[in-house]
Structure 1
Amino acid sequence: MNAHPQLTENGATADQTLPQVPPPARLLRLPEVMDRVGLRRSAIYQRMSEGRFPKSRSLGPKCAVWVEAEIEEWIHQVAGRDI
């Protein structure tokens, strides 16, 4: 085994030259969405119907999920507003 990292021509290690891959998309269930945004179920669904909150996706008759990146973006938009 080589104890020293391999350096490339520009002096970076092999690990530093790999492209940054974003983490895989996650799907969140309602309890986690509620915890993250601080809203109750009824407020989330009300805002969804008004177009002011990310839409859920259906995975089955009784399974709704939200895309984590969409929830995070909504949080950043709300946090950036002057209320």
Structure 2
Amino acid sequence: MDTEKYRKNLQGEVVGPDEKFLKRDQVMEMCSISHSHIYYLMNKGMFPKSQRIANCSVVWLESDINLWRSMNTKHFFAEYGEQIKAQKLGEGAAA
């Protein structure tokens, strides 16, 4: 299977049919942070980047958000910061 054309999460796994896409309001509620803080952290490489699903619509992968929630911010940045910084906003985890 050619995995290059499929979405991947931060851990490099192909996104399966069970994966949930979360909208910004859902992410804000799950993480208890504002939308401006989400984008601030994304730009610093300290929060998962969004996935573009349409021309002007983005979502986050639930697995990426749960991974972020399970780790402290410094450890998350050390593990995934460079990978996230290399991605463009809305590009997703296919870095």
Same fold (TM over 0.5): yes
Q: Secondary structure at the match of 1:53?
A: coil
Question: Match of 2:6?
Answer: none
Partners of 1:66 and 1:36 in 2: how far apart? 12
Instruction: From the two aligned structures, give the one with the greater helix fraction.
Output: 2
- Larger Rg belongs to: 1
Q: Secondary structure at the match of 2:72?
A: helix
Q: Which has the higher contact order (CA 8 A, sep 6+)?
A: 2
TM-score by length of structure 2 reads 0.57
* Structure 2: runs of 5+ lacking an equivalent: 1-15, 76-95
Residue type matched to 2:32 in 1?
A: G
Percent identity of the aligned residues?
31
Partners of 1:55 and 1:67 in 2: how far apart? 9
C-alpha displacement at 1:23, in angstroms?
7.9
Partners of 1:68 and 1:32 in 2: how far apart? 10
Select 2:26's aligned residue among 6, 29, 32.
32
User: Is the aligned partner of 1:59 residue 2:53?
Assistant: yes
* Structure 1: runs of 5+ lacking an equivalent: 1-21
Question: Match of 1:76?
Answer: 70
C-alpha displacement at 1:62, in angstroms?
2.0
Count of aligned positions: 59
Question: Match of 2:83?
Answer: none
TM-score by length of structure 1 reads 0.64
User: Is the aligned partner of 1:49 residue 2:43?
Assistant: yes
Residues 28-72 of structure 1 show CA distances to partners (whole Å, capped at 9, x for unaligned) of 000000000001000000100100000001112221100000000
**Superposed CA RMSD:** 2.1
